[in-house]
Amino acid sequence: MAENEERFESPAGRELNAWEKAFPGGAEKLYQEWSKTLAHQRRIESRNAWITYLGASLGFMITMAFLAATVYLVRTGHAISGTILGTVDLAALVSVFVIGIRER
């Protein structure tokens, strides 16, 4: 390749060539910083996916615990308390799903 021939064809490539001419080694430094930023972004997205999974799992376990408490209360003769607890549990579960869908 000739010395004055551009290495990249895209507009971004032309900018990199101009950057390289102005700051020797600058294009490589830009690429390295971009790579670091991309790796950081992947770590954050992975962490967010884990937090979402953990939150859903804990929410499911809490809901099942309230359901079990509701069934226990109703079976042991505390029908009103069990019904109230079950209604509150169901309303909370529905509201979490509705709020989650709205945020998307």
Of 9-13, 32-36, 73-77, 87-91, highest mean pLDDT: 73-77
Q: Please give the pLDDT value at position 31.
A: 80
- For residue 82, pLDDT beyond 90: yes
Count the Cβ atoms, other than its own, within 10 Å of residue 58. Answer: 10
Please give the residue that has the higher pLDDT: either 5 or 53.
Answer: 53
DSSP letter at 4?
A: T
CA nearest to 16, candidates 35, 4, 29: 29
pLDDT digits (tens, 9 = 90+) for 42-52: 888 888 888 88
Look at the block and give the residue holding tokens 């021939």: 5
Provide the residue ranges of all domains of the chain, joining segments of one domain with +: 11-103
Q: What is the pLDDT confidence band of residue 102, given thresholds at 50, 70 and 90?
A: low
